[in-house]
Amino acid sequence: GAVVSQHPSWVICKSGTSVKIECRSLDFQATTMFWYRQFPKQSLMLMATSNEGSKATYEQGVEKDKFLINHASLTLSTLTVTSAHPEDSSFYICSARGDRGYNEQFFGPGTRLTVL
Amino acid sequence: AQSVTQLDSQVPVFEEAPVELRCNYSSSVSVYLFWYVQYPNQGLQLLLKYLSGSTLVESINGFEAEFNKSQTSFHLRKPSVHISDTAEYFCAVSAPQGGGYNFGAGTRLAVHP
């Protein structure tokens, strides 16, 4: 149980295009999902908190117009990197908070984005 | 807010030797603590977690960690490492009531034959 998937697992795009990454909780409902990014050989940094049916909450320094987050259902959150540039190349990882009433999160396998 | 410090960026060790990866946290409230392992070009895998109860938690592959409230630590240990344990290890902390996880900088465990 408590499986989280991400799609795609990797994506290469041209500078200036937009890329959408999906995060799904496969066997549980997740009212809250989180998006992290990880630069090479670095740790994970929380980007934003996504709540079903409401606007995402972004961490300080994260551009909300650049990284659009939509949490349209209890099992799906999407992250859209708009007008991507090479500096947006990173490993993006989502997590979903479990439905057991306490803050235990389950992580997706990650999406590697390379912007050329 | 909670934070985590992993003091060792790299830990080299010989196969079958014991290892300890250090993790200290800072928080004014109760916390949840986690250890994750990440192999190259892969996502995070949960090793073990402390939510409440017994302060000593164990994983299925021989790792253990002990929650020490007085020393605000959650060090990861293994009595005998294998080559396959070579990976990046992240300690993370969260608040029980909600919010994202705060990750440490990571410790690169390199097991040598």
Using an 8 Å CB-CB cutoff, list chain B residues near A32. 98
Cross-chain CB nearest to B43 (options A42, A43, A108): A108
Cross-chain CB nearest to B95 (options A103, A109, A110): A103
**Bigger pLDDT: A72 vs B17:** B17
Exposure on the CB side of residue B14, measured as CA atoms within 13 A: 1
- pLDDT of B33 > 90? The answer is yes
pLDDT attached to residue A112: 95
Segment B85-93 shows an average pLDDT of 96
Segment B77-86 shows an average pLDDT of 96
Beta carbons of A75 and A55 less than 8 angstroms apart: no
pLDDT attached to residue A41: 83
CB contact under 8 A, B103 and A93: no
Using an 8 Å CB-CB cutoff, list chain B residues near A59. 100
CB contact under 8 A, B46 and A107: yes
- pLDDT of B99 > 90? The answer is no
Which of B44, B47, B5, B8 minimizes the C-alpha distance to B23? Answer: B5
Q: How far is A36 from chain B (nearest CA, A)?
A: 9
Q: Within 10 Å of residue B72's Cβ, how many Cβ atoms?
A: 16
d(C-alpha B37, C-alpha B85), whole Å: 9
- pLDDT of B90 > 90? The answer is yes
- pLDDT of A1 > 90? The answer is no
Using an 8 Å CB-CB cutoff, list chain B residues near A104. 32, 49, 51
Which of B26, B84, B70, B77 minimizes the C-alpha distance to B48? Answer: B77
Residue type at B90 in one-letter notation = F
pLDDT tens digits for A38-51? 988 888 999 999 98
pLDDT attached to residue B27: 87
pLDDT tens digits for A57-107? 999 999 999 999 999 899 999 999 999 999 999 999 999 987 776 778 899
Return the percentage of chain B with pLDDT > 70, whole number. 100
Segment B62-76 shows an average pLDDT of 95
Using an 8 Å CB-CB cutoff, list chain B residues near A89. none
pLDDT attached to residue A98: 76
